[in-house]
Amino acid sequence: MHVAVKVFCKAAMAGNSGLLGQAVAEIQLHEELQREVLRDGVPRLLAVNEDETHLHLIFEYGGKRLLREVVTLSDGERGEVGDAIVAAATPLLARLHGKGLSYNDFKPEQLLLTRRPDGAGFRVNVCDLGAATALGSPPTACTPIYAPPEAGPDMLNYIARLPHPKLADSFGVKYDSWALGATLVVALFGSNPWETPEARAIADDYDAYDSAVVARIVAAPRAYRDHAQFSALPSDVRGFLDAALDPNPATRATCLELCFSDYAQRLGVHDWATTPEAAPLLRGKAERAAAALAAAEAERASKVRAFFDAATAELEAADQRGAALRGRVAALEEEARAGAAREIKAVVEGCGEPRAPSRASSRRLSPNGASKLACVDVAALFAAECGSSSCTGASVATHVAGAMKPCAVSSGAAVRSTGDVSCSDARGDACAALDAASSCEADAAAAIAVVTLTSTSSGASSKQLSLKSGGAKSPCAVRGGRDMRTPAERVQGAAHKLRKEAGRAAAALKGAFCMRAPAVY
């Protein structure tokens, strides 16, 4: 077992009442506050041994001197040391203040450093409680370069051995807060930010060095912010330092308040709960937590509302697009019906030039004069078929198109073989096609009636109506009474209906008119 021994010389204590008072105060603090205040972060006092010349205080081994070790560490390791200082010293000082005591001489030299057994970070112990006194009492010892700026003028007199009547008023809770912040800065940076080049040049002269550093603290209490490493510190660490090193003692945070800082809370500091002053801070913490929860809930509700509004707008836009597509389909169907009527009228009247031959033709039709389409006895045939005495293209188109379903388009042609043409190689030639109702909407094409001229060597003639239609039937997907097809599929389905209705229309026209084939090729 390793131990540490603190030795007091009796001869020195006899001539220095302050040194004797420190030894007595430390023994009493450990005896009275060991379990309640000094339970964590302070090596236990194991025994007191006295001989003729010396007084020995035997403690648990707490580690190596922090100030000697920290200069050998990397920036990341110094950050871990800072975490250990805050986790151990902040609640310890808060507990001391809760018992009506102030430490008065907190500094890096009072800290012991060890690595944790698992290698995860460091552990810090606080030693040397001999300078602790009751709040409001003059201290028995202090270190000027870790004193706050409000103590500067009297501290300079103290260093120069001049009267300093108001120095005792500077010690207390806010003094310890500044000393804690200054110690943390030195541990994080590896040097004292208030140490000027002039001060380093006279470091061997303790009084001159202390006076130079104290003067710098008074003149520039925020000098630690100018250090190159300060901006690289986490934001909660910078906030902790600014609160502890506030130049104004009235607004400077106490160690208890520092326990509630973001930095201390991140480290899991919780030993302040035994102090009565923690009650209002606990209420404040609960109120802040409730406010944070309310803000988070409001933000979540706002996001939900925004998502709902966006979804509603998208649904409305989809409905508008669907309505536009349905209107387009209806327009195409209406255009197809109108085209069907025009085609039927043109076929029945038969007084125009034949249409261009289809691509399937092997020879080009060159109609002239007698080869033009002509209506033969259409009136009599139409009267016999439809029970009407008049026969015009419009009347036939009206009857035929009226018999068709909505959006049906038909196109047909009668085929007749001529008796005065004998051509053995004319079989399958001379095909003429009537185009789709709307050339701009290919998917709405109706039916193509192909006129086939068949001839025999004997000159026998016959009448034949041949109808060929293209396009595949599109399946109609219906779910829950709703047509699930896309607009293009619905147009294709309408076209398929057109082809079926074209057959029925051609049957109605059968025998109602005739075509005269070209006389010559």
190 Rama class: left (phi>0) / alpha (psi -120 to 50) / beta: left
Confidence at residue 377, expressed as pLDDT on a 0 to 100 scale = 43
Each domain of the chain, given as residue ranges in start order, spans 70-276, 332-509
Contacts of 486 (CB under 8 A, 6+ apart): none
CB neighbour list of residue 369: distance below 8 Å, 6 or more residues apart? none
Largest CA distance in the chain: 157
Interatomic CA distance for residues 65 and 213, integer angstroms: 22
Q: Kindly give, in sequence order, each residue whose CB lies less than 8 Å from that of residue 295, ignoring residues fewer than 6 positions away.
A: none
Q: Which residues contact 192 (CB under 8 A, 6 or more apart)?
A: 145, 182, 185, 186, 213
Distance of CA 490 to the CA centre of its chain: 41
Give the separation between CA 145 and CA 216, rounded to whole angstroms.
Answer: 10
Q: What whole-number distance in Å separates Cα of residue 136 and Cα of residue 168?
A: 7
CA distances from 313 to 68, 304, 309, 310 (A): 67, 14, 6, 5
Tell me which amino acid residue 440 is.
C
Say if CB 500 and CB 446 are below 8 A apart. no
CA–CA separation, 326 vs 340, rounded Å? 21
- The CATH H-level (homologous superfamily) assignment of domain 70-276 is Transferase(Phosphotransferase) domain 1 (1.10.510.10)
C-alpha to C-alpha distances, 32 to 26, 27, 130, nearest whole angstrom: 10, 9, 14
How far is 365 from 354, CA to CA, in rounded Å?
Answer: 9
Residue 156 sits at the vertex; the CA angle it makes with 67 and 93, to the nearest 5 degrees, is: 45
Tokens (6 digits) for 309: 């509004």
Cβ neighbours around 479 below 10 Å, total: 7
* Residue closest to 81 by CA, chosen among 5, 155, 186: 186
pLDDT tens series, the chain, 521 aa: 788 888 988 888 888 877 888 888 888 888 888 877 887 789 988 999 888 899 999 999 989 999 889 888 888 899 999 999 999 999 999 989 988 999 999 999 999 999 888 777 899 999 988 889 999 888 888 999 999 999 999 999 999 888 888 888 899 999 999 999 999 999 999 999 999 999 989 988 999 999 999 999 999 999 999 999 999 999 999 999 999 999 999 999 999 999 989 999 899 886 555 556 666 766 777 777 788 888 888 899 999 999 999 999 999 998 898 888 888 888 888 888 888 888 777 776 764 444 444 443 333 334 444 333 334 444 444 444 445 444 444 444 444 444 444 333 333 333 333 333 333 333 333 333 333 333 433 333 433 333 333 333 333 333 333 333 344 444 445 555 566 677 667 777 777 777 777 767 666 665 555 444 344 43
Q: How far apart are CA 290 and CA 293, in angstroms?
A: 5
Give the angle subtended at the CA of 327 by the CAs of 326 and 329, to the nearest 5°: 65
Prediction pTM value: 0.56
Task: Report pLDDT for 255.
Answer: 92
Packing angle of the helix pair 487-509, 393-403 (nearest 10 deg): 120
Bridge partners of residue 45, in order along the sequence: 59
